[in-house]
Chains A and B, each alone.
Chain A
Amino acid sequence: DLKATVLSAASPGEQKEMLGERLFPLVQAIQPTMSNKITGMLLELENSELLHMLESPESLRSMVEEAVEVLQAHQA
């Protein structure tokens, strides 16, 4: 399990990497085609928010949907 105490022992970059490794498969299950970029976007959020998303499928899903909209607007 990924806990805040484990994260606090790592560098900021390593923290994002650990969170990304756990978020990516979950994002991929929701939105397979843009999962790399969506995970990249989510990693710009606070680590506390990312930890919350890992524990709350509803939060993750709504953030992924929001990220898809932002991404599509950005690419348009």
Chain B
Amino acid sequence: SSSVNWPPEFRPGEPWKGYPNI
């Protein structure tokens, strides 16, 4: 389930993957 991985973690210096490019 995707809710298990929510919220996406922000890691400084890494590309942000939690928010899809629209």
Contact = CB atoms under 8 A, between A and B. Distances in A.
Q: Is the interface of B mostly helix, strand, loop or mixed?
A: loop
A16 B10 CA distance: 10
Contacts of B12: 20-21, 24-25
Interface residues of B, number: 16
Contacts, number: 50
Nearest to B12: A24
Interface in B1-22: 3, 6-13, 15-16, 18-22
Contact of B10 (A11, A36, A71): A36
A24 B18 CA distance: 15
Interface of B: 3, 6-13, 15-16, 18-22
7 contacts: A13-B16, A17-B15, A21-B13, A23-B10, A40-B9, A74-B6, A74-B7
Given A43-B19, A44-B7, 11 more contacts: A13-B19, A16-B18, A17-B15, A23-B10, A25-B12, A36-B10, A37-B7, A40-B10, A43-B10, A44-B19, A71-B7
